[in-house]
Amino acid sequence: MNRAAKEEINALTMVAQDYVENEHLCDTIVRSIETCVEKAVNDKKLIPLYVMDSILKNVGGVYNKLILLNLNQTLCNAFQQSDNTVKQKMIKLLNTWSDQNIFSKSVVDKIRQGMMSILQTPSMPSWRDKNNLQQPMMVPNGSMHMV
């Protein structure tokens, strides 16, 4: 997928639903999504994250348990590799998981702490990317941060 098309996300969610009784296949689906997040570049990381989100919200069950195993690492690694626009969207996604009680407060808070740590780590902006210089963004707790 090259863009986050609702129809494609829904189709992939239905495939996940079809295999919900087979935990081994569910695990394979989750690991495949994690690999897609890891290998995708910048804004393309959102596509598999949106598939993950749809599965969490519409199928749940065993998928929530399997996704949770590597969720902190998957999200924080993706967050670290993304630009500020994608980071904002990832924070919004995380907030929906908190608001809809997809994951416990402690799970969401741990991910937020990881994101905050990434935001507070000084990094050299690329001299080629003028868009990445001093862009204000909302950090996971809702306050403003200059990066």
Q: What is the pLDDT of residues 45-70, one digit of tens each?
A: 999 999 999 999 999 999 999 999 99
Residue 43 has a pLDDT of 83
Range of lowest pLDDT (16-20, 48-52, 137-141): 137-141
Task: Give 141's pLDDT tier (boundaries 50, 70, 90).
Answer: low
Mean of pLDDT values over 19-40: 97
The C-alpha atoms of residue 97 and residue 95 are separated, in whole angstroms, by 5
Residue 118 has a pLDDT of 92
Determine whether 23 is exposed, middle or buried from the number of CB atoms within 10 Å of its CB (0-12, 13-18, 19+). Answer: middle
Please tell me whether the overall predicted TM-score, pTM, comes out greater than 0.75 for this model.
Answer: yes
Mean of pLDDT values over 101-124: 90
Strands 136-138 and 144-146: antiparallel
Residue 5 has a pLDDT of 86
Q: 87-105 as b/e, with b when 16 or more CB fall inside 10 Å?
A: bebbbebbeebbeeebbee
- What is the third-level CATH fold of 6-118+131-140? 1.25.40
Token match 């990066």: residue? 147
Token match 């804004």: residue? 43
Amino acid present at 76 = C
